[in-house]
Amino acid sequence: MRSAKLQAACIQHECVAEINTNINICKHNIEIAAKKGAKLIVLQELHNSLYFCQSENPKNFDLAEEIPGPITDIYSSLAKQFNVVIVCSLFEKRAVGLYHNTAVVFDTDGSIAGLYRKMHIPDDPGYYEKYYFTPGDLGFEPIPTSIGKIGVLICWDQWFPEAARLMALAGADLLVYPTAIGWDRSDNEAEQLKQLNAWTTIQRAHAISNNLPVIVANRSGYESDTSKQTSGIKFWGSSFIAGPQGEFLAHANATDEAILSAELDLSATENIRRNWPFLRDRRIDHYFDLVRRFLN
């Protein structure tokens, strides 16, 4: 089996109201990560702005960007300048009145290698995403790049094993989750810890069940709810990179800005699949009910 080493990085930071400040944080961290040798750099979900979905406000649609457009031009230039693949996340304006939560992957030459539009859209107090984002219609297609096929999924997608599995079946070499999740400060510490552990555990499990590395980039910092309906969100950071058995390779804390990096061996997947051949044994003759809502 040929070795396929990939130096990967993911970036965790707080966001502020001023878009250019966020972009400059990303630029700065991309430069550092690239100079340390990263060939793949994953940014967190909606890294150019505050997490505006805390309330439903029509003015927030002004934050949406066309693809390609001025914002993608910036990240395209960075990918080309530093010869890296960048997974960028943005609020996509696809047409007048049609918006998505979209990841754009830039190849090392600055070209757009592909898009992924968030398929599973949450909606619960503080996360009113169904108001802003039409569910993705591109399916679960890994994005082919010069460094491998990237199975990009976004935030809420992380709770659905179906999404990770479909990326694996479509040949993904690794799974990547830009995300923005945090605590409701009205939950007690024990509940907060349970939620964080659940989030970490399920994403490590996607690595395990598919024998693929996983990279998770989450934001940190507290953002208030401008509508005053909730007490805001304390984003829980805790970004991580795990290997294909779910083992931690790098792990940020809940609060600090972080540039995580790890050397992935994409060829390890083959060895692990030889030892634990899950793909061989899936009971596809009995999975047809997975496309039903509930079995009643």
Burial pattern 170-197, b for ≥16 Cβ within 10 A else e, equals eebbbbbbbbbbbbbeeeeeeebeebbe
Q: Does position 202 bind a second copy by CB under 8 A?
A: yes
Based on the residue annotation, tell me whether 45 is a catalytic residue of this protein: yes
Min separation Cβ 63 and a second copy, Å: 23
Number of residues that bind a second copy (CB under 8 A): 53
Q: Give the torsion sign (CA, 193, 155, 269, 80).
A: negative
Query: Which 158-197 positions form the footprint of a second copy (CB under 8 A)?
Result: 159-163, 165-166, 169-171, 194-195, 197
Q: Which of 10, 15, 53, 155 is catalytic?
A: 155
Per-position x/- string for 218-247, each x denoting binding to a second copy as judged by CB under 8 A, each - no binding: ---------------------------xxx
Based on the residue annotation, tell me whether 129 is a catalytic residue of this protein: no
Instruction: Please give the C-alpha separations between residue 252 and each of 34, 173, 239, in angstroms, as whole numbers.
Output: 18, 23, 5
Indicate the residue among 165 and 234 with the shorter CB distance to a second copy.
Answer: 165
End-to-end C-alpha distance for the chain, whole angstroms: 47
**E strands in the chain:** 5-12, 40-42, 85-95, 98-106, 112-117, 143-145, 148-152, 174-179, 182-184, 214-218, 220-223, 233-236, 240-242, 248-251, 258-265
Based on the residue annotation, tell me whether 118 is a catalytic residue of this protein: yes
Spell out the residues 6+ positions from residue 148 whose beta carbon is closer than 8 angstroms to its own: 4, 6, 173, 174, 266
Q: How many CA atoms lie within 13 A of 170 on its CB side?
A: 18
Query: Which 88-107 positions form the footprint of a second copy (CB under 8 A)?
Result: none
Q: Does position 70 bind a second copy by CB under 8 A?
A: no
Q: Does position 25 bind a second copy by CB under 8 A?
A: no
Min separation Cβ 41 and a second copy, Å: 26
Question: What is d(CA 1, CA 157) in angstroms, rounded to the nearest whole number?
Answer: 31
Q: Does position 139 bind a second copy by CB under 8 A?
A: yes
Matching residue, tokens 């700065």: 28
Q: Does position 256 bind a second copy by CB under 8 A?
A: no
Indicate the residue among 13 and 149 with the shorter CB distance to a second copy.
Answer: 149
Which stretches of the chain bind a second copy, using CB under 8 A? 119-122, 124, 135, 139-140, 156, 159-163, 165-166, 169-171, 194-195, 197-198, 201-202, 204-206, 208-209, 245-247, 275-279, 281-284, 286-296
- The residues annotated with a catalytic role in the active site are 45, 118, 155
